[in-house]
């Protein structure tokens, strides 16, 4: 007698594979009123439907952009018909601490002598600095400045140049750093209340008479004045920037 034993072997279908891998980058999130966070699903294919259990606490757009509205807790879910993943979102009140995102320091009119701060880079304390914004130009003023150099692209109706003349005093520390790391115009320029990061679309050259910040290194005990200009999206005012003043935190400043 021949005994035939048939084993049933489970084979993962594309659908079950998707369900097994689908996730969100975080399962819990803390935001303050007015904050915006973009949730990017992992291993979810096809059309994704987003929902919020309490829309008055935080809403979520079709593209996964979460906007914190009122203090409370909500659950954000993403579903593609094969898998559903979720994240618990807790919304807190706006911080009223001076220098926070929602209560930025005003600069330069109320602090003509600049701002003293301790600068951190990648979690490491670098040294003590003083920063002054000697000149800030935007809109039609910066467009006219950029036009003087034919190599600068003309801004569209939805774009504008932001021009900065920055004076940086490296009061104490142990290492030479790039000025563009301290005043990081690539990552640390935002619209009102830090809701929109203004990433450079392009750069402007020759708008000022000082050395380009991009090429400047600064050592302890030195003071340097340099210029930079970036082309960004228009319509996000007032302009704010942030300085990394602790291992994981920032001081926000409004221009």
Range with lowest mean pLDDT among 44-48, 53-57, 127-131: 44-48
pLDDT by residue (tens digit) across 128-171?
999 999 999 999 999 999 999 999 999 999 999 999 999 999 99
Residue 5 has pLDDT above 80, yes or no: no
Residue 15 — very low, low, confident or very high, per pLDDT cuts 50/70/90? Answer: very low
> How many whole angstroms separate alpha carbon 163 and alpha carbon 166?
10
Residue 10 — very low, low, confident or very high, per pLDDT cuts 50/70/90? Answer: very low
**Mean per-residue pLDDT, 38-59:** 93
> How many whole angstroms separate alpha carbon 42 and alpha carbon 21?
7
Residue 18 has pLDDT above 50, yes or no: no
Cβ atoms of 186 and 201 within 8 Å: the answer is no
Phi and psi torsions of 52, nearest 5°: -125, 130
Which fold does the domain 105-254 belong to in CATH? Immunoglobulin-like (2.60.40)
Domain 21-92: CATH architecture, name and number where available? Sandwich (2.60)
Per-residue confidence (pLDDT) for residue 16, from 0 to 100: 45
> How many whole angstroms separate alpha carbon 40 and alpha carbon 26?
10
> How many whole angstroms separate alpha carbon 168 and alpha carbon 175?
15
Give 144's contacts (C-beta < 8 A, 6+ positions apart): none
**Mean per-residue pLDDT, 208-223:** 96
Average pLDDT, the chain: 88
Phi and psi torsions of 161, nearest 5°: -90, 140
**Mean per-residue pLDDT, 233-253:** 90
Domain boundaries, the chain: 21-92, 105-254
**What does DSSP say about strands 189-190 and 65-68: parallel, antiparallel, or unpaired?**
unpaired
Residue 74 has pLDDT above 60, yes or no: yes
pLDDT by residue (tens digit) across 55-71?
999 999 999 999 999 99
Cis-peptide into 37, omega within 30 deg: no
Per-residue confidence (pLDDT) for residue 54, from 0 to 100: 96
Per-residue confidence (pLDDT) for residue 11, from 0 to 100: 45
Per-residue confidence (pLDDT) for residue 31, from 0 to 100: 86
Per-residue confidence (pLDDT) for residue 192, from 0 to 100: 81
Per-residue confidence (pLDDT) for residue 93, from 0 to 100: 85
Per-residue confidence (pLDDT) for residue 109, from 0 to 100: 54
Cβ atoms of 207 and 165 within 8 Å: the answer is no
Beta bridge partners of 251: 243
pTM to 2 decimal places: 0.66
Residue 111 — very low, low, confident or very high, per pLDDT cuts 50/70/90? Answer: low
| Whole-number percent of the chain with pLDDT over 90 | 67
Residue 1 — very low, low, confident or very high, per pLDDT cuts 50/70/90? Answer: very low
Cβ atoms of 91 and 72 within 8 Å: the answer is yes
Q: In angstroms, what CA-CA distances link 99 with 95, 145, 218, 240, 252? A: 9, 31, 25, 11, 5
Per-residue confidence (pLDDT) for residue 110, from 0 to 100: 52
Residue 40 has pLDDT above 60, yes or no: yes
Residue 233 — very low, low, confident or very high, per pLDDT cuts 50/70/90? Answer: very high
> How many whole angstroms separate alpha carbon 89 and alpha carbon 101?
19
């Amino acid at each position: 007698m021949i005994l035939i034993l048939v084993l049933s072997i489970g084979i993962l279908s594309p659908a079950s594979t998707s369900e097994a891998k689908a996730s969100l980058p975080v399962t819990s999130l803390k935001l303050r009123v007015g904050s915006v966070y973009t949730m990017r699903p992992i291993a979810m294919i096809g059309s994704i439907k987003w929902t919020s259990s309490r829309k008055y606490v935080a809403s979520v757009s079709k593209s996964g952009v979460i906007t914190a509205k009122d203090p409370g807790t909500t659950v954000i879910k993403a579903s593609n018909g094969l898998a559903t993943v979720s994240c618990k979102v807790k919304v807190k009140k706006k911080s009223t601490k001076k220098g926070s995102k929602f209560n930025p320091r005003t600069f330069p009119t109320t602090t003509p002598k600049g701002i003293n701060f301790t600068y951190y880079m990648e979690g490491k304390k670098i040294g003590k600095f003083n920063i002054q914004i000697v000149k800030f130009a935007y809109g039609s003023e910066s467009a006219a400045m950029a036009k003087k150099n034919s190599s600068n692209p003309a801004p569209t109706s939805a774009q504008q140049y932001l021009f900065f003349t920055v004076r940086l005093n490296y009061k104490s520390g142990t290492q030479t750093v790039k000025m563009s790391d301290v005043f990081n115009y690539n990552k640390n320029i935002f619209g009102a209340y830090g809701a929109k990061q203004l990433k450079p679309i392009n750069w402007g050259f020759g708008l000022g008479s000082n050395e380009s910040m991009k090429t400047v290194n600064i050592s302890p005990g030195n003071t340097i004045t340099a210029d930079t200009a970036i082309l960004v999206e228009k319509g996000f005012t007032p302009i704010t920037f942030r300085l990394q003043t602790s291992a994981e935190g920032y001081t926000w400043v409004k221009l």
